[in-house]
């Protein structure tokens, strides 16, 4: 009888220990420490790594969009410069207009870059980051891209601004060439 009782108690202790180990192994992301008056939840390394991955995904998407915007700005500036330099008008007559055109182009790109950087910084400062937060932020970045660059079916602010500036520079070049014959006074 003592052997049966000892075996039964031993099996129960092993079962309790096994269940405890399995429960701890099944939930490795949270460690709960209790005291008399408070319960503290400690975030483990796995949760922190997940947070870092989510933040990095948003940062990468934001940085890629900033590169697209800067490339669009550079491309437009190159078009404007090319128009001005291929003109028979002297560079001195076009310098002021060329500088203004580049400022206008930069002025169209800059607010979007600033908004992306602020969003990235805000997202990084969140105490708790969930996959839903990440998806919301990625969707917001897509809206910024749509508004700034368009999507092939619609034209974005940067593209429209570039087109306007290119047309204005062409008009100015024609006027300068016509009025001054491309020569310096």
pLDDT tens digits for range 65-117:
999 999 999 999 999 999 988 887 777 778 888 999 999 999 999 999 999 99
**Could you give the angle at the alpha carbon of 46 between the alpha carbons of 41 and 65, nearest 5°?**
115
Indicate the angle between helix axes 157-180 and 45-85, nearest 10 degrees: 20
Q: What share of the chain is helix, strand, coil (3-state, %, to 5)?
A: 80, 5, 15
Beta bridge partners of 34: 39
Question: Rounded to an integer, what distance in angstroms lies between the CA atom of residue 53 and that of residue 125?
Answer: 14
Beta bridge partners of 150: 155
> What pLDDT does 48 receive?
78
* SS3 letters across 63-128: HHHHHHHHHHHHHHHHHHHHHHHCCCCCHHHHHHHHHHHHHHHHHHHHHHHHHHHHHHHHHHHCCC
Question: Rounded to an integer, what distance in angstroms lies between the CA atom of residue 2 and that of residue 23?
Answer: 31
> What pLDDT does 18 receive?
44
Element (H, E) at 14: helix 2-26
Is the pLDDT assigned to residue 2 strictly greater than 70?
A: no
Mean per-residue pLDDT of the chain:
81
> What pLDDT does 41 receive?
53
Tokens of 53: 């991955």
Is the pLDDT assigned to residue 6 strictly greater than 90?
A: no
> What pLDDT does 52 receive?
87
pTM: 0.71
């Amino acid at each position: 009888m003592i052997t049966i009782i000892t075996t039964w108690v031993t099996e129960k202790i092993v079962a309790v220990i096994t269940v405890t180990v399995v429960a701890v192994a099944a939930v490795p992301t949270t460690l709960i420490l209790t005291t008399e008056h408070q319960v503290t939840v400690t975030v483990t390394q796995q949760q922190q790594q997940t947070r870092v991955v989510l933040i990095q995904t948003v940062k990468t998407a934001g940085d890629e969009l900033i590169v697209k915007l800067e490339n669009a700005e550079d491309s437009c500036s190159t078009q404007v410069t090319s128009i001005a330099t291929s003109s028979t008008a002297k560079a001195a007559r076009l310098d002021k207009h060329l500088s203004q055109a580049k400022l206008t182009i930069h002025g169209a790109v800059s607010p979007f870059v600033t908004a992306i950087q602020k969003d990235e910084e805000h997202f990084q400062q969140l105490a708790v980051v969930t996959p839903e937060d990440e998806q919301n932020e990625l969707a917001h970045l897509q809206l910024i891209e749509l508004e700034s660059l368009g999507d092939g079916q619609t034209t974005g602010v940067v593209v429209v601004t570039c087109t306007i500036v290119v047309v204005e520079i062409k008009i100015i070049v024609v006027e300068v060439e016509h009025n001054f014959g491309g020569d310096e006074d």
